[in-house]
Amino acid sequence: MEVSLDRLARELHALAEQGVSVEELTEVLCGAIGSQVAHDVLRLVHTNPAAGLWLGSLRGWHRDGPELAEELVLDRFADGDPCRPDDLARRPVPVGVVGVGGGDGPRQRRTREILAAHGVGSELRLLVRDRRGVWGFVGVARAEGARPFDQDEMARLARLGPVLAATFRTFMGAQPLAPGVPALPAGVIIVGADHTVQQISPQAKEWLEQVWLPRQRGVTERALAPFAAEISHHTRENIADPGAWKPWMCLSKTSAGRWIALQGQPLDADGSGEVAIVVQAAGGELLLTSFCHWHEITARERQVIEQLCTATPPKRIARALEMSVHTVNQHLKTIYRKTGADGRDELLAALAS
């Protein structure tokens, strides 16, 4: 029985406010999406507009996920996959189908073979976006032999987009605003020429456990594989084309209230060998941009925050930005309301690396 979107939005908002784990959120979202579109397998990525279309900040899977996701990532970068995130972004309604019911071009056939190897017949995909940008990606799949996705189901999944975007932001808002513990030392993940994880340092494991598995220990290479493959590919592309998207990204807040920065660095001159992914505390412009997206900070409010970060008092902020002190204080009140900060000190602590 299909559940109304209004009711679904209220239920998801209430749950996301409770600060559940990524796994719990994925499980609940699987049920919520299933109330609109029946499926056997779910892939879920949520990100923010600062991270671009390709890399997701947090990932979850229901049933057979990481291995299938890794193969689809590798296929996409090998110029396969007819329904990539940038393809969806160009569509008025950002949904599409691969596999059964998705056409019969060469890219479709190759993707269909990958799906079939995992017992999947077709996958319906949605790019989760709103007026501010892209907030995530959802892939719902059905087993081989199952009924193909139809136009009505594509429309129902598309209508879920704003609900999912709001749920992602609420989930992030429920995490601690400022770090409650000191930052870990930087960690390193080594990815081979075949884009598979070769080694991961204990520090990198600790960082990723705070994001992906905050309530249980043991980040596995299997869960990390699709994520590492994407950064590896982007790092190599950046060597060939310096104007390409740079492999820096800011992961969403951890359960400890800290944002994480990742950077891919090639270990040889031409990018044909191994890539090191450095994992460390985020700070500076990278952190501020993601922070402002998540908390829906306006451009003017961001200018006030930038001044605040240099220890500038309200009167001097007013002069620098050519506004009244009253307007500065009103902006500060709005910023504290949006972020949940108790005041200047807590806000600055949230933006410290």
d(C-alpha 340, C-alpha 353), whole Å: 19
Residue 58: per-residue pLDDT: 55
- Model confidence at 49, in pLDDT bands (50, 70, 90)? confident
Residue pLDDT, tens place only, 124-143: 999 999 888 888 889 999 99
- Would you place residue 250 in the very low, low, confident or very high pLDDT band (cuts 50, 70, 90)? low
Which residue, 7, 340, 10, is CA-closest to 178? 340
280-286 long-range contacts (CB < 8 A, ≥24 apart) are 280/183, 280/186, 280/187, 280/207, 281/183, 281/184, 281/353, 282/250, 282/251, 282/258, 282/353, 283/351, 283/352, 283/353, 284/353, 286/50, 286/248, 286/250, 286/261
> So where are the chain's domains?
5-173, 187-285, 297-350
Cα angle, residue 67 at apex, residues 115 and 275 outer, rounded to 5°: 120
pTM of the model: 0.83
Is the predicted pLDDT of residue 84 greater than 70, yes or no? yes
pLDDT in tens, 309-329: 999 999 999 999 999 999 999
User: What does CATH list as the number for 187-285?
Assistant: 3.30.450
CA 67 to CA 178: how far, in whole Å? 34
174-223: per-residue pLDDT in tens? Answer: 888 888 778 889 999 999 998 889 999 999 988 877 765 544 444 556 66
- Residue 246, pLDDT > 80, answer no
Torsion angles phi and psi, residue 132, rounded to 5: -90, -15
CA 136 – CA 122 distance, rounded (Å): 20
Q: What is the mean pLDDT of the chain?
A: 84
Quick one: tokens of 75? 């296929």
* Closest-CA residue to 288 (of 348, 210, 333, 337): 348
CA angle, corner 251, sides to 246 and 254, nearest 5? 160
| CATH fold group of domain 5-173 | Beta-Lactamase (3.30.450)
Q: Of 133, 134, 146, 227, which Cα lies nearest the Cα of 124?
A: 146
CA distances from 81 to 62, 76, 350 (A): 21, 5, 39
Q: Exposed, middle or buried by CB within 10 Å (0-12, 13-18, 19+), for 130?
A: middle
User: What is the H or E stretch that residue 158 is in?
Assistant: helix 151-159
Render pLDDT for 91-100 as a digit per residue (tens, 0 to 9): 999 999 999 8
- pLDDT by residue (tens digit) across 7-45? 888 888 888 888 777 677 777 888 889 889 999 888 888
Residue 111: pLDDT over 50: yes
Cβ-based neighbour number of residue 352 at 10 Å? 13
Per-residue pLDDT at 300: 96
Can 5-173 and 187-285 be said to share one CATH topology?
Answer: yes
Q: Does domain 297-350 have CATH number 1.10.10.10?
A: yes
Tokens of 302: 């961001």
Q: Name the phi and psi angles at 211, rounded to 5.
A: -90, -55
Is 71:114 a contact under the CB 8 Å cutoff? yes
Average pLDDT value for residue range 104-119:
87
> What pLDDT shows up at residue 202?
92
Bridge partners (DSSP) listed for residue 44: 60, 138
